[in-house]
Structure 1
């Protein structure tokens, strides 16, 4: 493992030019240090939870609870026949009371409310704790809990994650590590994101998961304090360890560019699953043929490779406006009908 690249003193212009365009994870020290939430987080569990209650409207949020096993990970059961946590909805008041009680236990269960949309769960909190690196239209989500691990997984969006309380360790691996991470099925995972079945890469049983060591050789790691943030590019695997024993808070921002004017950039995981469904039954030789076709049509054909086609006649090889985007989506949807 190597330490992650770090930058300080970022402006929005520098972030867009130097960080987001680079497709590399970067730690951004102190970008949220001005947040009132960070100040309250540094003041301690009770002070921080009282601050958050000032924004609470009683909206139930998703909460997960897991036994205090050695890894304290929210993931698969050992036999992969289910998940190792309980999931329910509860208001923040109940969650905060439980976190306070658990803070008096020597080894409490792992408890967290994950990925709640701030504008719905804690209205006004985002405005009081703004992130200047991003457009204000990008809505943050909040993660609140005690010590726990989220196993290695990937998202198909850009991500800035800001530590507001506690400490978090991020272990990131490039997409090319997918064959080394013992990934579970993309349509059956503990979260919406495809996830590794290894509860904790750092303590993995190398007899059962021998490729983990090779993956960790390509990993970068960083530990973040309150006020620090990390940029995670799309498809980079990340294991996230919440390290403080009683309270860890993260606010994160997911976003994607527009695929075409007024059209969302939302087809990536659907395309992956459709390709798995469409090509799984083919013999190996034909599958290799499709690998070559994907390499050309999806990933290769651009620039000089398209010089033989006039720009105005490139169709899906060229620019796609909202109208054409809608036509293609409708054609695909019609083809998927039984």
Structure 2
């Protein structure tokens, strides 16, 4: 189920939209919108001038030909649902993935989609987070969005009708609908208890996901999801539209057309040489979570002291030249810390 008028969306507020002068400097305007932004918003028509968008408006076949013309000669990873799959890339009853993953040339993958279309037996086919530079020649150059001093990872997402469970990402994200229709439903970071999150180490795509089926939420099994809906915001993106998703905001994403393409840009506010917070969480589960409560209280106080509060008095009694990782991290000290962690974790 991926209809634009699904009942759940009648109870969710629309995402705010930001205006921009299409005759002005798009890069400068976008930079001003993104600078320091901590709330999501939609920009209509931001990439409407892309050739990829123009091809998609002609037909699904035309935009597929456009992509094949730019594809490098290498296998693409693709997720495929079994016959009768409803587009929800999720778990099965045994908590295994309800789709299989394979590899193939882009032209062959698209050929399978077209054959299913002709036979009237559409299949769930999804190519997620494909690196545009690594897998396409000239595609990102022809369909580019200048983000100023930001150095984003540029990815393309291609697929039939799909439903991607609510999840979050550490980087900021600007997602641009290039073909088809995409519905985004966003939740603030603090709504995670109300989304009923699944396993951390067994996920469809590396990020923990909500176990709630947005097409038919069961408020008996997931009663707090009603609170999440009260805090949610949603929008349907037409070709050329974009949505900004701040770091750690939960987002549920649906491809509403028979064929959909999204291009997104991920970037960090912090230097790339800093670690991933998720790694720290995983390590804390391994090392701290199952300790006795009294021991956990001690470690909670230490985390507050060294990490979350990190007041000036943490290291002021230590000579400045000897503070090591208690001083603000640098690429060099972060590298030494990473090497130390690798040695300790490999014991």
Of 184, 188, 206 in structure 2, the residue corresponding to residue 192 of structure 1 is 206
Matched with 2:278 is 269
Q: Specify the alignment match of 2:106 in structure 1.
A: 92
TM-score by length of 1: 0.88
Alignment match of 1:334 (pick from 328, 339, 343): 343
The answer to whether structure 1 residue 232 and structure 2 residue 235 are counterparts is: no
Aligned counterparts of 2:15 and 2:325: Cα–Cα separation in 1: 38
Q: Where in structure 1 are there 5+ consecutive unaligned residues?
A: none
Q: For residues 214 and 107 of structure 1, what CA distance do their matches in structure 2 show?
A: 38
TM-score (norm 2): 0.86
Is 1:213 the counterpart of 2:222? The answer is no
Count the aligned residue pairs.
Answer: 331
Among 263, 279, 304, the alignment partner of 2:288 is 279
Corresponding residue number in structure 1 for 2:266:
254
RMSD: 2.5
Aligned 8 A contact 1:59 1:120 in 2 = no
* SS state at 1:103 partner: helix
Change (3 A) 1:328 1:265: closer
Q: Say if 1:66 and 1:72, in contact at 8 Å, map to a contact too.
A: yes
Q: How does 1:1-338 map to 2 (within 5 A)?
A: 1-9=12-20, 11-67=26-82, 71-80=86-95, 82-104=96-118, 106=120, 108-134=122-148, 138-198=152-212, 200-244=213-257, 246-259=258-271, 264-302=273-311, 312=320, 315-338=324-347
> Residue 315 of structure 1: CA displacement?
4.8
Unaligned segments of structure 2, at least 5 residues: 1-11
> Cα–Cα, structure 1 residues 79 and 207, in superposed 2: closer, same or farther, change >3 Å?
farther
Shift of 1:257: 4.2
User: Are the aligned partners of 1:119 and 1:139 in contact in 2 as well (CA < 8 Å)?
Assistant: no
SS state at 1:217 partner: helix
* 1:216-257, Cα deviation, whole Å (9 max, x unpaired): 11111111111111111221111101001x210001112224
Helix, strand or coil at the partner of 1:223: strand
